[in-house]
Structure 1
């Protein structure tokens, strides 16, 4: 493998460039939203840490001599607090650039290293003193904090700066400008109980920082792939959910078994069929854009009403709509919901007709019919293309009743049995209704008692 190929793969590993190039704009935006939220969390964690250290420093007894001319910790914490406040403000405004994030990562580590370096000034002791400070452990917190963004780059920056920073402190302690060279030791006890330096211990610390950094970076590469896959599946599920009723989409999300053809249940439900009159002629007169715009307007007015009364759209049949109440989500008020929806739909369609007349457009009539009874709700189709639907005599009946609305000159029809059931379930009619006993319906063998909704409520 050529050197440029190795470099390209390393860049893809560090920056996630290959994965980023293959992402859609929607996925990138969602990842950026996660990262923006993570930066706010990081900022507040840093603010809490600063407050904690300031409180601890204030209330804890000072071990250094009282005549110490300079106390760098308050100054360091103060400057870092201002920097963190700016960082939080930029995070909320979504103005954090990659350059600023890189600088911020370096500053985090630099502040910690400067604080550790200042110990020998506070205590007026040789620099070897700070090599034994447990404060170094905070570098692992700062490195881990960068994992919240799900980008290995900033973890590698934090880890590299930490290793270089500690190496610089080690070299400074060894050189001790203006002082005699420190004594090295191979005894751990001597190292702990004196100002002697154990070189192997400092190398171990640097190696530990680098190993933790490498492991976290590798974990982030894997985690970022999972994040991308999760977001892609989430967006795909959200898109697919728009093709299903919300209750059905929830069932699919939480189902323990995948849907297969032949699954079905019997249930009591109400079915509603709606048709837009004169649509066939309009489809010849209007352009494709105008035709789809009309359908969009038609659906945008009627579908929310159906859903408001707990109805679920089973399918769109061109200019027709087939909906169910109590099939997708079982209900004891399915007939009542059906009749409430019909009254509201009549009001909405008549308002729509009035608007079209005022605009000089043809006022399209809408016919609808409903009936309640036993249906089978389940999965049909081929394994490669499945569909949830309702099947039964009630479904066939409402499609025939919908056609009968035109012959009877009424906007909506329901069977008398359905209407009585709706009344029993608590339905109170707001508009005018008319009884149509013993009506013959094309395709139905026996006469049916019907109820016509003749006027919108109000």
Structure 2
């Protein structure tokens, strides 16, 4: 049944739709406005691609003019060409202008007005070359309208499409149409008085008569190609802008996640949703600064952040060099995993090897952090625990997080706290140590503690002090 509400929503007959009423110019302006609203770094990346495209256009133009110059020099002179030959001059002028354009593109970002000027010069040189044919062959001006050289207009228009900017394609097409219209007008005016206009196609092909329909067809095709390419590039430009945005976002993503996690997110066949995960054998490393909250409360914020950046950066490099990945930063703490992002047969051995190297790192960092404003020698602790954990995505519809969940995470946190009561710097439990041994870990523990009560964990635990 007809819905009155839907009927009212339709435009009245003969009334153009809103999308149809929007002009090309307003659409292009909207695209430009969207680009101006982009972050500066994204705009810079877009400009870099445009600069690269302009260089490519210049090199292609240079290759074309060299090709045609070589071809012209090798080909025999056309019969009947008794007049002055403008071709060498046109090719030389175009070669010099193109060399200048390529050189400038490597020295600076070519401004829009210069690009428009180069388009005008391209078309003017081609129009001049076409115009010269009737002088070279001593024929009426209508003679040059049959020259196949007109097809190079399409080459100039297509070249501008390499920049993925519809404005320059549109400008090139309109300038080409204007240039061809000027040539046709110059040829038609004397032809009208000399009765050289015909409607006979055979006469048009075999004489210097002019067929208005043929010249109109050329202009229509030029305009059609220009508008179609402009429309295609208008849509392509939107895709390019979106792609640059997403590439920048993906690049930023890799700074917040391990590279493998970022790649799995950006390369996923389906959109990631909360609640998906899998169980893996993982070793978890927890690192924490002693007394951080108390000391940080007496320091300027910039000092605290500078200390954190230096400390966490050094720990992260050690973890990654050892085959692990930082899962998250917990204030002054670092939670790292081995075998979570990428399954590993030696996760525990790698984690203990990194843990064994932490005391030397803490000692090396101490003077640097004091120079930054940390008032006392760096005191930090670490613990490693291994076992099956769930690796996956948690969160809500609008906010997701890649994480690990399981007993090993909890044990690592509790064992790290136990460093204070045990008097150790790096601690693990006997199960994790035995697993690391079976995976090839050859380190020697400082001591073992049997049947120790660890706050937050059930029962008694056999502990291994690595440092």
TM exceeds 0.5? yes
The 1-side partners of 2:206 and 2:322 are apart by 79
Q: Is the 8 A contact 2:83 2:138 kept in 1?
A: no
CA distance in 2, matches of 1:388, 1:95: 41
Runs of 4+ in 1 over 6 A off after TM superposition: none
Equivalent residue for 1:264, pick from 240, 264, 277? 277
Which whole-Å CA distance do the structure 2 matches of 1:129 and 1:448 have between them?
101
Change (3 A) 1:120 1:257: same
The Cα shift of 1:364 comes to 1.6
- Shift of the alpha carbon at 1:96? 0.8
Describe the shift of the 1:95–1:395 C-alpha distance in structure 2 as closer, same or farther (beyond 3 A). closer
Partner of 1:209: 222
Return the alpha-carbon distance in structure 2 between the equivalents of residues 287 and 94 of structure 1: 43
Looking at structure 1, the residues matched to 408 and 382 of structure 2 have their Cα atoms a distance apart, in angstroms, of: 14
Structure 2 equivalent of residue 235 of structure 1: 248
**SS of equivalent residue, structure 1 residue 285:** coil
Alignment match of 2:415 (pick from 376, 401, 404): 401
Partner SS state of residue 283, structure 2: strand
Aligned residues: 446
Output aligned runs, 1:276-355, within 5 Å: 276-355=289-368
Q: 1:324 to 1:206 in 2, by over 3 A?
A: same
2:182 is aligned to 168
* Cα pair distance change 1:423/1:90, threshold 3 Å: farther
* Distance of 2:58 and 2:405 partners within structure 1: 57
Query: Taking structure 1 as reference, are residues 156 and 256 closer, same or farther at Cα in structure 2, changes over 3 Å only?
Result: closer
CA contact (8 A) 1:271 1:325 kept: yes
Distance 1:255 1:17, change over 3 A: closer
In 2, distance between residues paired with 1:59 and 1:65? 18
Aligned counterpart, 1:107: 121
1:3 corresponds to: none
State the partner residue of 1:377: 391
Residue 98 of structure 1 pairs with residue 112 of structure 2: yes
Length-normalised TM-score, structure 2: 0.88
Aligned with 1:50 (options 65, 70, 73): 65
Are 2:107 and 1:87 aligned? no
Which sections of structure 1, spanning at least 5 residues, go unmatched?
A: 1-5
Question: Shift in Å at residue 107 of structure 1?
Answer: 0.9
Q: Displacement of 1:435 after TM fit?
A: 3.0
CA distance in 2, matches of 1:443, 1:113: 86
Q: Could you tell me how far apart the structure 2 residues matched to 1:145 and 1:158 are?
A: 10
Deviations 1:222-251 (A, max 9, x none): 222222222233333433443322211111
Q: Distance in 2 between matches of 1:257 and 1:243?
A: 21
Q: Which moved more, 1:339-348 or 1:393-402?
A: 339-348
The SS at the match of 1:110 is: helix
| CA displacement at 1:62 relative to structure 2 | 1.8
1:18-71 deviation digits (Å, cap 9, x = unpaired): 3344333233222211211110111111011112111211222221347x4532
TM-score (norm 1): 0.89
Q: 2:84 aligns with which of 64, 67, 70?
A: 70
2:445 is matched with which residue: 433, 439, 442?
A: 433
**Paired position in structure 2 for 1:386:** 400
What CA deviation, in whole Å up to 9, does each residue of 1:255-284 have, x standing for no partner? 222222221211111100111111021132
**Contact residue 174 and residue 181 of structure 1 kept, 8 A:** no
